[in-house]
Structure 1
Amino acid sequence: MLPKLTPEQWAELHAQSFVATPQCWLSCRGGSCCNMNLVDDIAFNMLPTSGTTLIFMGDEYDYFKSRIEDMDLPAKEMRMDFGEDEDLRIVTAHCGLNGSCSESFPKPLLCKMYPFVPIVGLDGSLEGILSGSIYDWTYEAKGWTSFCPSMENNAFFLDQWTRLLNEIDILSHPYIIFHSQAIKVLYTDYVEHLRADKRLMELEGGRFWKSWELAYLTGKLFSMDSVKAKIKAVYRKIVHKETGAAGE
C-alpha cells in the first residue's frame, strides 16, 4: 500500500502558498471557476451550477476532519477500484462562497494551486502542469478561450513552478505523486475521448454543454477500463519503488 502522510506533513503541505493568482476571481466577473452560473451558455439540467465542487484527496479530507472541530462541510466520498489493495478515494463537497473564502476555510490543494496543477513524476521531479478542472480541460480540447484569464499565462505558471524547488520536494510524497499521476491519466483519456467525438466537437455554446452534460454523466467521455489499467500501472510502479527502496 502507499505510505501515508503524517498530520505534520499535511500541515506543511497546506502551509505552502504554491503558485496561485491572488484574488483571481476579481478578473473574471466574480469567480467563474467558483460559480458556474457566471459562465456564458452553461445551463445544466442535472449538474449543479451554483457555486463549485471542492475535490479533496481522501486522506486530505480525513486530515481536515481530524483538525477542525465540528467541520460543517457535507461531503460525498467516491472510490475507484482499480484492482489493487486500496482504492483511489476522493471526497467532494459543495462550496457556495463564490471565491470569497477565508484562510480558515478547509480548501483542498486543488483550490490552493488553481488554475494549474503540477504533475509530479515518479522520481519526484516536476513533469509539467495541467489546467485544474474538467471545464478547463473542455475549453482546451475545444480550442476555446477559457473563461479563466489566468489560463492564458500557462508559460508564466510553468516557469514559476520550475522555481518552486522546496514546494515540489514537499509534493514528492508517494501518496501525492499517485494522485498527481492519476490526474494526468484522467486528463489524457478525457481530452482524447472528447476530441474523438465529432458530434460534440461540432456543437457550440449551450447546445454543446447540454449534450456534454449527458455524455459526461453517462460515462461516454472516459474509457474507465483504460483509466483503471493505467492508474493501476502507476500505483504498482510507485509501490515497487517504495518497497524496493525500503529493502535496500
Structure 2
Amino acid sequence: MPPVNWEKVYNNEFIHAPDCWKTCGGYCCKNFYGEHFKILDKTGVALPLLESEYEYYKSIGGIKNITEPAKKRTFTLTNGKSFSIYILSCSCGGLCNPHNARPLICRIYPYFPLVDAFGMIEGFEYSALMDLFYRDPDKNHKCTLVREQAKKVKDELTVNLKPLLADPQVVFIFMCLKELVTRLKTKMADFIDNLDDEGKKRFIAKYEWMILTGKPWADKAFSERIDAIYEEVKQANGNVDFL
C-alpha cells in the first residue's frame, strides 16, 4: 500500500464550511476553558501529527506563527513495534499563516472517524478532548457545525476521508484514538455543560490530573488492547507489518 500523499491531503478541504468561525468566535482554534487551567497551557491548542505528516508539514515551511518546536512522543508496543506523534502547540487563534499549512486534525474538526480494521467508518467522535464532555452537544456545543450541520459534516468526512483510510497506519492511529478517548470519558464520568463555575473548576482540575498522569491509560489492559488493534489492522491488510 503506497504511503499517504500528504500533498493531496493538504490540498483538500475535508469540510466545506466557509467562514464558519464567524458564527462561534473561532471556537476550534481557542482553548475556551483555558482560564481554569492551573498546569496545562492556557492558550495553546495541541495539534497532533503523524510522523509522515510532520515531515510533509516541515517540507512546506509549516505555519509561520507557530514558533515553538514540536514535541515528539514515541510509543512502543509490547511486540517491539513503535510509532511517533509530533505535537504542535498553536496559539494562533485561527490566524494561522499560511492557512493552507494547517494539519489534518484542524481540517477534520470537530470530529474524527471511528473505524474498523479495514478502514470502514462506523461513526464519529469529537476530535478535541474537551469537546468529549458535552451532555447535550446538539444544544450546548460551542461549535456551530456540531449544533446545526452535524449530518452534513459527517457525510462530507465520510467521502473525503476514504483515500486517507486506505493507509493502515492511519487506521491504526484512529482506532487507538478511540480507545484513548473512551478511557478518558470513563475516568471523568461527568459533563461540563451543566456545571456551575465551581463545578467546572473541579472538573478541569480532575481533567488536568488525568492528562498529566496518564492514569486512564496506565494499565496492562490498555496496552493489551493497543497490541490487539495492531494485530487486527495487520491481518486486515494481508498480514503485512505497517509500523
Establish whether TM, by shorter chain, passes 0.5.
yes
Q: State the shift of 1:73 in Å.
A: 5.1
Q: State the shift of 1:216 in Å.
A: 2.8
Q: State the shift of 1:40 in Å.
A: 5.5
Q: Of the candidates 139, 162, 170, which is equivalent to residue 168 of structure 1?
A: 162
Deviations 1:96-121 (A, max 9, x none): 21012244553221111101112332
> 3-state SS of the aligned residue for 1:49?
coil
Match of 1:5 in 2: 3
Q: Which runs of 5+ in 2 are unaligned?
A: none
Q: What amino acid does structure 1 have at the position aligned with 2:170?
A: I
Q: State the shift of 1:178 in Å.
A: 0.9
More displaced, 58-67 or 107-116?
58-67
Q: Is residue 2:46 matched to residue 1:53?
A: yes
More displaced, 142-151 or 121-130?
142-151
Q: Is the 8 A contact 1:119 1:129 kept in 2?
A: yes
C-alpha distance in 1 between matches for 2:34 and 2:190:
22
Q: State the shift of 1:175 in Å.
A: 1.5
C-alpha distance in 2 between matches for 1:76 and 1:58:
11
C-alpha distance in 2 between matches for 1:158 and 1:70:
27
Q: Is residue 2:197 matched to residue 1:191?
A: no
Q: Equivalent residues in 2 for 1:129-208 (5 A)?
A: 129-140=124-135, 145-152=140-147, 153-162=149-158, 164=159, 167-195=161-189, 204-208=199-203
Match of 2:79 in 1: 84
TM-score between both structures, scaled by the size of structure 1: 0.79
Match of 1:43 in 2: 36
Change (3 A) 1:96 1:244: closer
Q: State the shift of 1:87 in Å.
A: 1.9
After superposition, the CA RMSD in angstroms is 3.3
Match of 1:64 in 2: 57
Match of 2:236 in 1: 241
Change (3 A) 1:138 1:124: same
Identity among equivalent pairs (%): 24
Q: Equivalent residues in 2 for 1:91-102 (5 A)?
A: 91-102=86-97
Q: What amino acid does structure 2 have at the position aligned with 1:61?
A: Y
Q: Is residue 2:115 matched to residue 1:120?
A: yes
Q: State the shift of 1:189 in Å.
A: 1.5
Change (3 A) 1:245 1:111: same
Deviations 1:148-187 (A, max 9, x none): 232224333223334x1x6413432111111111111112
TM-score between both structures, scaled by the size of structure 2: 0.80
> 3-state SS of the aligned residue for 1:62?
helix
Q: State the shift of 1:144 in Å.
A: 8.8
Deviations 1:73-97 (A, max 9, x none): 5110012222134323211111121
Q: State the shift of 1:24 in Å.
A: 3.1
Q: Which runs of 5+ in 1 are unaligned?
A: none
C-alpha distance in 2 between matches for 1:143 and 1:212:
23
C-alpha distance in 1 between matches for 2:182 and 2:70:
27
